[in-house]
Amino acid sequence: MVKVDRLVIPRVSPGDGQRSGPASGRGVGRARRTLLARLALVVSAGLVLYWSGPPRDLWWLAPLAVAGFVLAVRRIRARAGFGYGLLFGLAYTLPLLGWLLDFLGAQFGPWPWLGVCLVESLFFGLAGAGAARVSRLPGAPLWQAAVFLTAEVLRSSLPFGGFPWGRLAFTQTGGVLLPLASLGGTALVGLGAALVGAGLAETLVRLPWFRRDVAARSGRERRSTGRGRLFVVPLCAVLVPVLGGLAVLPTVGATASSDTATVAAVQGSAPNVGLDLLYRDRQLRLNHIRAARRLADDVAAGRVRRPDFVLLPEQVGSWGPERRDPALRRIAERIGSPVIVGGLAYGPDGRLSNRIVRWGPETGASGEYVKQHLVPFAEKIPLRSVAGAVSPFVRRFQQDMVAGDEPGLLRAGSVRLGVGICYDVAYDDVFRQAARAGANLFALPTNNAWYGHSEMSHQQLAMARLRAVEHGRSMVVAATTGVSAVVRPDGSVKRRTEQFTAETVVSEVPLRSSNTVATFLGRYVTWLVSALGVGAVLTTSLRRYRDRAVEPVR
């Protein structure tokens, strides 16, 4: 039962609610300045987060961006936090996904780009609302970091299968937090970066000059607290992830291996004509067939060591249910090694899929992988009746492609090749499944030819580098127009190409069969972080409900 002390109805004079004067004016001016400061801070933080990512190697900016985000939403209402988070998301995603404008802008205008950025920014709005709610809890940096990552997990799942592009972990491929990927995957790396940022923000607000300024502006007396105790929580938030990354660093990529493989990644290139290349599949295929033939000539002449397999990019081939491709088979026979190539293929049921097919020198098409994560509005078309206004793929594909559900594992001699296709690399499950199925080397065929000289390929390469560390395996990337690369198990890039050049990379890589902690436990780390974020928000909601229930009415 709610106890009611007494109900007092105040007298209202004609001037009440319309007070004016110096004090009132100063209050309005202070509120306006605070609003503008928060707006400037949150937009700057979003831009800084974008600037921290590839192709720039400014990983240390990402925690600073999170710090700005946390400061902007600190101790405000959840609705205001949502608005600030939305602005943060727009400031981040608009430049991050600028390659969508390069790809679709000429035919469809800015609307597809703006629409995707707005939808993605809604999840940053949720992060802002949640971070604002938990900012009053003890140990706030941990809960704020968990809320940020929880919104990221939601963004990676919803809608239409999610869009994990631009996850916080993908900004850390050159930093001290990257080794954490071997323990907990993208979730742990992202949590570490967010925790450092939230800890920096909390350290700032506990500095004496900051607390005096806040107390003066609020008109409240500042209570003294033991100065040393004030900084224990925020400094732990900053130091624990950094020290953890440094502690794990010596183990990353250090597993002994006596087996190696020679790999060849073919980048045949294509004209930089953007969306028009969508209708020039034959030229894309011919460029790569010619490049593969040149490789076969070099191998036959002894100029290049014979590779254990040759990797061609995504969408180089096109096959019916019978899987006939004399050109690929002749190349495999001449080199004497399997050719792994991506293409569009019809199954016996007439359904289309995006596949990787292994062409053996003697067996022909003898192994396949079907892409698991299809790109919304491209390989699968939700809302098909209206999607034609924003996607060129509606007219090209009259039916949705079929998604695969099996791990990608192809054999080439002693190589057990774990494969994913393009967009697959943004998701946690594809290469985890391949590693657990026994892969000792990873491969990523991809087609980035539509996006010009944008940052898209560099962003994708950063994801490949993180997956290499996450599971302790080398990664071979073959892109139609770049960037193709060979990535070591420690995430460093051994060889890479430039964009829009015809080039073949031949390199020796180690084969690793041992699994990391993240291979087995990575998904549970994601669940735990999400549970922490949701639990923290629910705790604040419960506390508010309880406080309202017992609050006396006066």
Please list the active-site residues: 314, 371, 422
End-to-end CA distance of the chain: 16
DSSP assignment of 271-300 equals ---GGGGGG-HHHHHHHHHHHHHHHHHHHH
Rounded Cα–Cα distance for residues 211 and 393 (Å): 56
Residue 544: Cβ within 10 Å count: 12
171 within 8 A of 121, measured Cβ to Cβ: no
Helix (H, G, I), strand (E, B) or coil at 496: strand
Helix (H) or strand (E) holding 215: helix 208-218
∠ CA(428), CA(429), CA(435), 5° rounding?
105
Q: At a CB cut-off of 8 Å and minimum separation 6, what does 443 contact?
A: 311, 340, 417, 418, 419, 420, 475, 476, 477, 478
Rounded Cα–Cα distance for residues 149 and 254 (Å): 29
Burial of 58 (C-beta count, 10 Å sphere; 0-12/13-18/19+)? middle
Measured CA distances, 397 to 177, 378, 402 (Å) = 42, 8, 12
Rounded Cα–Cα distance for residues 351 and 185 (Å): 34
Rounded Cα–Cα distance for residues 168 and 66 (Å): 10
What sections of 345-455 are H helices per DSSP?
Answer: 384-387, 393-396, 429-436
* Tokens describing residue 114: 């703006």
Let me know how long the chain is: 554
Q: Look at the alpha carbons of 391, 396, 399, 403 in this order and tell me if their dihedral is positive or negative.
A: negative
